[in-house]
Amino acid sequence: MSDPKVEKEAGPAEPAKETTPEPEKRKREYKDFGEEDDKPTHAKVDMSQIQLKAEDLYDKEKVDLETIVVDDVFKLLQCDENGLTDEEATRRLELFGPNKLESEEQNPFFQFLSFMWNPLSWVMEAAALVAIALSNGEHRPPDWQDFVGIVTLLLINSGIGFYEERNAGNAVKALMDSLAPKAKVKRAGNWREVESSLLVPGDMISFKIGDIVPADCRLTEAINVSIDQAALTGESLPQGKKTGDQCFSGSTCKQGEAEGVVISTGPNTFFGRAANLVGQDDDTTGHLQKILAQIGSFCLVVIGIFVLAEIFCLYAGFRYTYRRGLDNILVLLIGGIPIAMPTVLSVTLAVGAQQLAKYKAIVTRITAIEELAAVTILCSDKTGTLTTNKLTIDRDTIRTYGPFSGEDVVLLAAYASRTENQDAIDTCVVGAIGDPSRARAGIKLLDFKPFNPVDKRTEITYLEESSGKLKRVTKGMTGIIIELCTRNKTDDIENRLEADVIEFAQRGLRALAVAYEEVDGTDPEGEGNGFELIGLLAIYDPPREDTKQTIDDAIGLGVKVKMVTGDQLAIAKETGRRLGLGDHMYPAKVLKDGPEPGSRFRNLDEMILDADGFAGVFPEHKYEIVKRLQALGHLCAMTGDGANDAPALSRANVGIAVEGATDAARSAGDIVLTEPGLSTIVHAIRGSRIIFQRMRNYAIYACAVTIRIVVCFAILAFAFKFDFPPFMVLIIALLNDGTIMTLSVDRVLPSNTPDSWDLAEIFAYAVAYGLYLTISTVALVAIIIRTSWFYDKFGVTLSGGAHQAIDHNDHQLHTIVYLQVAIISQALIFITRSHGFFFMERPSFALMGAFCIAQLISSIIAAYGNWGFTQVEAISGGWIGIVWVWDIIWFFPLDLIKFAMKATIIKSLRERHNAALAKEVKETGVPMTRTTSRAASIHESLYSNRVSFIRRAARKVGFGQKISMKPEELQRFSSIQAARTGSVLARHPSRPS
C-alpha cells in the first residue's frame, strides 16, 4: 500500500515547470469508433422574433430543430417544461393534424372495375358489344354465344387481377400500426396518459424502458437512456442518449427513462417521412403491365389496320350486307386480340410463386417475379440483411498486452459481464465463449458493478475456486480503462493501445478494453495490487454465413450488388471488404453535393454506378439511389429488414424483405424471405428467369397467332369472299389458351444474364411466324376452291359431294379451315419455346398432354360438329387425315425460319442496339441499360390511366377518402420538420404580438 503514496508525492515535488518549455505528456483521447463531438448550436436568428418565414426555416444555416440548443427549441415551438394547456394542444391538433399516418382506402367494387379499363379489355368489351347489340339485324338473333364466351374470359381475367392486387402489401398501413398507441404527456403541469395520435409539437412527453417513442422529440432529461433505432436508421447498436439528443418516433427505449419536448408528429416525423415516401410513389403501372400494354398496342394496331381494310373492302367494294360484314369484323376482333394474355401470364406467375415458396420465399406481388428476372442491380441494406445484426467479438483482431492469451482475455471479459438482463455488449462477450455457463464456472461472484454512463465500464470481483485468490476484472471504454491501469501503463503500451484503437476505428470496429488485478486479503471491496491492461477486443456486426457466397452467385448471374446502409462509412467499408463487395463506399452527403471537383467522376450518376455502396443514409437517400438507378434504365431490387428500408423497398422494381423484417418492411416488399440470409434470393433469381422464359415464349406465340388470324382471314375475305364463323374463332382461342396455361410448368433453362423484354425481337419473330402460317392456310383454301386436286388424289368431297368448293362458304370448308388453323397454330408453341430444333428440347408432360387433348377435341369437333348456328358441318376422316398431314409438312420448316431470323434480322437488331449503347456511353460516360420501363409512353399511360380514372369516379360518388399526405421535395428530414412546425406556428402564434 506504500507504492501509491510515493506516486502521489512525486507529482507536486517536481519544479520542472519553471525551467523548460513544458514537455508535458499529451492527453491521449483514445477516441473510439462512433464518438463524435456534436455540440449544440444556436439558431442564427433572433429567437425573440418568432415570426419566421417558411423559406428561412428551410435554411439549416438559420435553424435546425435537431441540433439547436433545447432552449431555442422551446422558444421556436412556443412552449415550456410545464407542457401545453389543453386549449393550446387542441388548437395545435387542428394545425398539425393527428400524430398518425393516414392512407387512401380504395373501394373494392371500383377496384374490380379498374381491371376492365385498359386497351386489351376495351377490344374485348367492344367485341362483346358488337356480338350482342350491333349484330341484331336482318331477322337474325343477337350473337349471344360469342357474347357469353367473351364476357366469361373478361371476368376471369379481371378476377385474377383483382385478387392479386387486393392481396398486395399495404406498406403505409403497417407503418401506421407500428406507431405507439399510448403516450405519457404533461399538460398544464400534470402528467397524464393519452392516445399518441393526440400529441402535438410542443408537448412534453416521457418514456421508460420497453416503451415505443411516440413522436420525434428532443430530450430535456435523460437517465441512463439507450434507444434501439435499428429498424429506423439501420444502426447496429442501441444508441445512448443524453439531454439535448433527438429520439425518433417508432424507436424503442431499451434502457433508462427520459423526458422530452415533441418537435414533430405524424407524417412530419422521421418515421412518417418513411411512410410518405412509400405512399408517394404513384407509379401504379408495374413493369409487366407496361410490357402487356405495348404487346397489346401492337395487336391493336394490326387489328385496326385490317378492320379498316375490311370495312372499306367488304362494304364499299363487295357491297356486303350489314350482318355479313360484321361477322367478318368479329372474327378479327375475337381472334386477333390475345384475350387471355393477362390471365395466362398471371397463372404462369402464380405457379412460379408457389415454386418459389419451396425456397422459403413468399411472393406478395406476383408480377415482381417477372421483374426479378430482369434485375441488373441489387441494392442491399447491411444491418440484419448482409449481417446478422448480432454483435460479435472478432477473434482475428484481438490484441493482448500482457501474459494472457486472446482466449483468456475473452473469458475474463465474460467474467466481467452480466449473465442475465444483458445489454448488447454483455450478450456478445458472453456469447463469444460458446457456453454461457463458463462465464461463472470455477469462480464465486463476490461483487459486480454494472455498466453506467458515468463510469463507462463494468467490474467484477470474484474468488477463484482453484487457487482461493480474490481477483478483479474490468472491461469498458478504452480511455477509462487505461487510466485505471497503474501496473503496465507505459509509453510503449499506450502507443500500442492508441494505434490499435485508431486501426479499429478506421475499420469500423468498436474497441472494448479489458484489465485485471489481484486483491489482497479476503475483502471483496479491498484495494487490489493495481490494474493491468491485458487486452483489447474488437466488436462488430458479422456478415451472415452465406452472404459472401450469395453475392458471388448474384454477380455470376450478372447482378451487381451495392450496399446501402444507415451505419457509418468505416463499418460499411469493413463489411464490404469482408464480403468481397469492395470498399468504394461513399457517405450519403455525396447524393446532395455530387462528386468532388477534380474527381474521376463527371457526374453523380457515374459515381452511383461505380460505387460499391453508400453509408449514413436516411430513407430518402435510399429512395433517391434506387430512383436514380431506375432513371438510368436499370431494374433494381432492394433488400431490407427495417422500417427505414420501406420507402426504397416500395420504389424498387423488386422489394425483398429478409427474414425477421418488420411489418412495415414486409408490407412494402414484393418478396418476403422466411429463412435467414440471402441465399434464397439466388434461387429466386434463377426461378424468376425460368418463369420469364415461359412468358417470353408465350408472348411470341400470342403475337404470331394474332398476325396469323387477322392477316389470314382478312386475305381469305378479300381473295375468296370467305366468311369464317366467329364462334369457331372463339373455340380456337379457348383451346389454345387452355393448352398454353400449361406453359407455367414447362421445362426451360434460365439465362445467365438479366433478362429483358426486347419487343422488337418478339414482334419480328411473330411477324415471320404469322405470315408463314397465313400462307399455309391460304394455300390450302386456294387449292380446295380452285382445283379438285384433293378429290383426284384422295377421293374426298365437300358438302353435297362437291369435288371442289364452288361455294366459297361451304360449311365443310369452314370445318377444314378450323381444324387446320387450330392444329398448326397450337403446334407453334413448340417452336417458340425452343432455342434450337424443337425436338432437341423436351417439353413438360403437362404441355404435351394438353396439346394432345386439345387436338383430340379439335378433331372430334371436326368429325362430329354439325352446328348449324355457327355454319360448320362434320367432315370425313379422310379430310381430317389430309389436314393433319398438311400441317405436319408445313410445321417442320418453322425451325428453319427461326434460324434464318436469328442469323439476319435478330442479329441486325442486336448490333444496332449495341451500337446505340456504345454511342451513349461515349457521349455521357455513363453506361446505360435500356429497358422498356425506362420512360413513359402512350401505351403505359393508357394502363396507368385506369387507376386515376377509377379514383376520380370513386371520389365523385363518395366512396373515396381524402389523401392526407402530399409528396414533398426529397430534402433532409430535419429541415422538413423545422419547416412544417415552425412555419405553421409562425402563421398562427399563440402569444400576442
- Mean pLDDT over 48-60 rounds to 41
The model's confidence at residue 828, banded by pLDDT at 50, 70 and 90, is very high
3-state secondary structure of 192: strand
Q: Which of 56, 143, 211, 381 is catalytic?
A: 381
Count of residues in the chain? 993
Between CA 361 and CA 673 the distance in angstroms is 5
Burial of 194 (0-12, 13-18, 19+ CB in 10 A): middle
Between CA 562 and CA 585 the distance in angstroms is 9
274 alpha carbon, distance to own chain's centre: 14
Between CA 250 and CA 232 the distance in angstroms is 8
Between CA 458 and CA 471 the distance in angstroms is 14
Q: Which are the contacts of 394, defined by CB distance < 8 A and separation ≥ 6?
A: 509, 537, 538, 539, 540, 542
Q: Are strands 613-615 and 585-587 parallel, antiparallel or unpaired?
A: parallel
Question: Which residue bears the cell 507505459?
Answer: 490
Q: How many CB atoms lie within 10 A of CB 993?
A: 5
Between CA 860 and CA 877 the distance in angstroms is 10
**Backbone angles phi and psi of 521, in degrees to 5:** 80, -160
What is the model's pLDDT at position 170? Answer: 41
In this predicted model, what pLDDT tens digit does every residue of 731-740 receive, in sequence order? Answer: 888 788 778 8
Cell of 839: 425436338
Cell of 461: 470481483
Rounded alpha-carbon distances, angstroms, from residue 232 to 228, 244, 269, 738: 9, 20, 11, 48
The model's confidence at residue 136, banded by pLDDT at 50, 70 and 90, is low
The answer, yes or no, to whether residue 694 has pLDDT greater than 90, is: no
Nearest to 278 by CA among 649, 831, 754, 15: 649
Q: How many CB atoms lie within 10 A of CB 503?
A: 14
Q: Which are the contacts of 90, defined by CB distance < 8 A and separation ≥ 6?
A: none
The model's confidence at residue 883, banded by pLDDT at 50, 70 and 90, is very high
Q: Which are the contacts of 426, defined by CB distance < 8 A and separation ≥ 6?
A: 417, 418, 451, 458
The answer, yes or no, to whether residue 991 has pLDDT greater than 80, is: no
- Mean pLDDT over 964-981 rounds to 37
What is the model's pLDDT at position 591? Answer: 86
Q: CB of 412 within 8 A of CB of 374?
A: no
- Mean pLDDT over 705-729 rounds to 92
Cell of 342: 393477362
Q: Which of 633-642, 646-655, 907-916, 966-975 has the lowest mean pLDDT?
A: 966-975
The model's confidence at residue 763, banded by pLDDT at 50, 70 and 90, is very high
Between CA 40 and CA 882 the distance in angstroms is 91
Query: Is 381 annotated in the active site?
Result: yes
861 alpha carbon, distance to own chain's centre: 49
Cell of 855: 387436338
Quickly list DSSP for 124-137: HHHHHHIIIIIT--
The proportion of the chain whose per-residue pLDDT surpasses 90, expressed as a percent, equals: 22
In this predicted model, what pLDDT tens digit does every residue of 15-48 receive, in sequence order? Answer: 444 444 444 555 566 655 555 444 555 555 554 5
The answer, yes or no, to whether residue 223 has pLDDT greater than 60, is: yes
Q: Are strands 560-564 and 613-615 parallel, antiparallel or unpaired?
A: parallel
Cell of 494: 499506450
- Mean pLDDT over 42-59 rounds to 44
What is the model's pLDDT at position 316? Answer: 87
**Backbone angles phi and psi of 527, in degrees to 5:** -80, 140
What is the model's pLDDT at position 923? Answer: 66
Largest alpha-carbon pair distance within the chain?
A: 135
Q: CB of 111 within 8 A of CB of 946?
A: no
3-state secondary structure of 850: helix
Q: CB of 817 within 8 A of CB of 765?
A: no
In this predicted model, what pLDDT tens digit does every residue of 574-604 receive, in sequence order? Answer: 888 888 888 889 998 888 888 888 888 888 8
Q: Which are the contacts of 322, defined by CB distance < 8 A and separation ≥ 6?
A: 137, 138
Burial of 196 (0-12, 13-18, 19+ CB in 10 A): buried
Q: Are strands 457-464 and 443-449 parallel, antiparallel or unpaired?
A: antiparallel
Cell of 740: 398454353
In this predicted model, what pLDDT tens digit does every residue of 173-184 receive, in sequence order? Answer: 443 344 346 789
3-state secondary structure of 613: strand
Q: How many CB atoms lie within 10 A of CB 854?
A: 22
Rounded alpha-carbon distances, angstroms, from residue 362 to 287, 622, 672, 750: 20, 24, 5, 20
- Mean pLDDT over 635-639 rounds to 88
If you ran DSSP here, which 8-state letter would residue 237 be given? S
Helices 726-740 and 144-166 meet at what angle, rounded to 10? Answer: 30
If you ran DSSP here, which 8-state letter would residue 421 be given? S
Nearest to 656 by CA among 390, 378, 250: 378
The answer, yes or no, to whether residue 931 has pLDDT greater than 50, is: no
Distance between start and end Cα atoms, the chain: 70
**Backbone angles phi and psi of 513, in degrees to 5:** -85, 145
What sign for the dihedral angle of Cα 805, 808, 814, 820? positive
Cell of 407: 482466449
Q: Are strands 636-640 and 532-540 parallel, antiparallel or unpaired?
A: unpaired
The answer, yes or no, to whether residue 11 has pLDDT greater than 50, is: no
Q: If you compute the radius of gyration of the chain from its CA atoms, what whole number of angstroms results? A: 37
Q: Which are the contacts of 302, defined by CB distance < 8 A and separation ≥ 6?
A: 336, 706, 707, 710, 711
- Mean pLDDT over 88-116 rounds to 77
Nearest to 261 by CA among 320, 204, 211: 204
- Mean pLDDT over 429-450 rounds to 87
The proportion of the chain whose per-residue pLDDT surpasses 70, expressed as a percent, equals: 78
Q: Which of 238-252, 303-317, 338-352, 369-383 has the lowest mean pLDDT?
A: 338-352
Q: Count CA atoms closer than 13 A to 256's CA, side-chain side.
A: 20
What sign for the dihedral angle of Cα 899, 904, 905, 909? positive
The answer, yes or no, to whether residue 308 has pLDDT greater than 90, is: yes
3-state secondary structure of 888: helix
Burial of 628 (0-12, 13-18, 19+ CB in 10 A): middle
